[in-house]
Amino acid sequence: MSAQPLPRAHGHTRPTRSRSPAAPTAPTRGQRPAHARRPRPPGSRQGGAGAGPGVGPGRDRGGAGASRCLPVPPGAAMQREVGTLPLAPALRSRLAAAGFQTAQELLDTGPCGLSKEIGISREEALEALQVVRQECHRDAARTAGDSGATRRCTALELLEEEQTQGFIITFCSALDNILGGGVQLTKITEICGAPGVGKTQLCMQLAVDVQIPECFGGVAGEAVFIDTEGSFMVDRVVDIAAACVQHCHLIAEAQQEEDHQKALETFSLENILSHIYYFRCRDYVELLAQVYLLPEFLSEHSKVRLVVIDGIAFPFRHDFEDLSLRTRLLNGLAQQLIIIANDHKSAVVLTNQMTTRIGQSQSTLVPALGESWGHAATVRLIFHWDNSQRLATLYKSPSQKESTIAYHITSHGFRDVQPPAVTHSTEGTEMNPRKRPRTEEEKQQ
């Protein structure tokens, strides 16, 4: 299935700052005249129909395709002066010297163009644009008066809201039980484990299960799948989806209810595949761009109830000399995912690799990205091996105790481990395996 690109910001062309030297004016202190500003390549400031929303796969990151990787808030907040933004003084001075005046001009430029114009790294430019974007959204919220103020509610209202949130089942009843019913909506769930233990298998299973109709115990939603490692396998999703559809058909045949039959008219293999929105991100810039564009995409696809990022650590484990910058980018990413989960009533599922921590006497395997990242997820699962058996340990949860269960990966997907068949003990008796056992009548004779 081909990747669907993220939408542009309402399809309109953003204005650019004027560079006309027709009416030259004396520049202010630290500001270059308009005719001295560095020209940009065509298309880097204007967004036509063919321009991409961010740094997409196969695009030149230094060209027009990379010029806009962050969504732009509408309204007067975009006209905020650069000097009033919460940026470092040295950075504000560089922006003023380059002729930037408003927040809209910064966001229109994009991280690649900004790094070239003022002589900073692309990472620093991306971080600065994230700050600008968040500040503009806060200003717009304060002006609208909808989300700018602190939310006030009672503990009872929070409890009732928590109890109404649905769960996405995993088709592994043991895992659903230790999670309290499945993967909960509005929460971030992190799945950690070594390669090959089944993290991606569970993510693909959830991308199918989130679409189960409500009459069968599902949430009747859609899924967004962001892949950073190239582990997504369409053939495997087809197997899982076909098994799920067959399972629902068996339930409908057994119960013979009208709502089941009606739901199965649209719950088909093709329908499941068409509602898994797949995005491929090859580095952390693309990943951050996609995540920050997700609110706009989710507003247009209101039925999405699952956002999967398969391989959250992979883009951040290479090419980072400044670890403090990596930490700040990860913290901003975590905050954005929390906003997505709460505002769009979706479950966010992340997969993470394990890394070795060297101690004084021994080394242990721990989740990657450090201890500060461990606070990002509400629920953390650790997948590991015990000889040839796959095990899942609930390591972190606000409401469930730590537990470990066994699971199995079958051709149909993520499943429970079947108990061994019960056999009658023959201890103390000697039997010839070539002879049939004697019946009770023969024994009495």
For residue 163, name the pLDDT band (cuts at 50, 70, 90).
Answer: confident
- Beta-strand ranges (E) seen in 353-434 are 354-358, 363-367, 379-386, 389-396, 404-410, 413-416
Can you tell me the mean pLDDT for 60-88? 59
- Given this model, what pLDDT does residue 77 score? 67
Tokens representing 393 are 């340990």
Residue 275 clears pLDDT 90, i.e. is over it:
yes
Residue 333 clears pLDDT 50, i.e. is over it:
yes
Residue 403 clears pLDDT 60, i.e. is over it:
yes
Give the CA dihedral 323, 329, 332, 338, nearest 10 degrees: -90
- Given this model, what pLDDT does residue 31 score? 45
190-203 tens-digit pLDDT: 999 999 999 999 99
Question: What's the chain's average pLDDT?
Answer: 79
Residue with the two structure tokens 């808030």: 73
For residue 288, name the pLDDT band (cuts at 50, 70, 90).
Answer: very high
For the four alpha carbons of 239, 232, 193 and 379, in that order, the dihedral sign comes to negative
- Given this model, what pLDDT does residue 443 score? 55
For residue 348, name the pLDDT band (cuts at 50, 70, 90).
Answer: very high
* Exposure on the CB side of residue 26, measured as CA atoms within 13 A: 2
The fraction of the chain above a pLDDT of 70, given in percent, is 74
Minimum mean pLDDT range among 7-16, 81-90, 221-230, 261-270: 7-16
Residue 166 clears pLDDT 80, i.e. is over it:
yes
Can you tell me the mean pLDDT for 333-360? 91
Can you tell me the mean pLDDT for 352-367? 84
C-alpha span between 96 and 93 (Å, rounded): 5
Which range scores top for mean pLDDT: 40-49, 299-308, 315-324, 358-367? 299-308
Residue 310 clears pLDDT 50, i.e. is over it:
yes
- Given this model, what pLDDT does residue 240 score? 97
Spatial contact of 171 and 361, defined as CB atoms under 8 Å apart = no
Would you put residue 8 in left (φ > 0), alpha (ψ -120 to 50) or beta? Answer: beta
C-alpha span between 38 and 267 (Å, rounded): 55
- Given this model, what pLDDT does residue 51 score? 36
Can you tell me the mean pLDDT for 211-217? 93
For residue 132, name the pLDDT band (cuts at 50, 70, 90).
Answer: confident
Spatial contact of 69 and 47, defined as CB atoms under 8 Å apart = no
| Range 140-146 contact pairs with CB under 8 angstroms and sequence separation of 24 or more | 140/73, 140/74, 140/75, 140/77, 143/75, 143/76, 143/77
DSSP 8-state assignment for residue 62:
T
Burial level of 311, CB count in 10 A (0-12/13-18/19+)?
buried
217-232 tens-digit pLDDT: 999 999 999 999 999 9
Spatial contact of 191 and 203, defined as CB atoms under 8 Å apart = yes
Residue 28 clears pLDDT 90, i.e. is over it:
no
Give this prediction's pTM.
0.65
Can you tell me the mean pLDDT for 115-132? 87
- Fold of the domain built from segment(s) 159-416: Rossmann fold (3.40.50)
Q: Domain extents for the chain?
A: 34-144, 159-416
- Of residues 308 and 265, more confidence is placed in 308
Q: Give the angle 245-247-251 at the CA atoms, nearest 5°.
A: 115
Give the CA dihedral 192, 195, 199, 205, nearest 10 degrees: 180
Residue 269 clears pLDDT 90, i.e. is over it:
yes
- Given this model, what pLDDT does residue 256 score? 86
- Given this model, what pLDDT does residue 162 score? 80
Can you tell me the mean pLDDT for 406-432? 72
For residue 437, name the pLDDT band (cuts at 50, 70, 90).
Answer: low
Spatial contact of 210 and 168, defined as CB atoms under 8 Å apart = yes
Tokens representing 310 are 């398969």
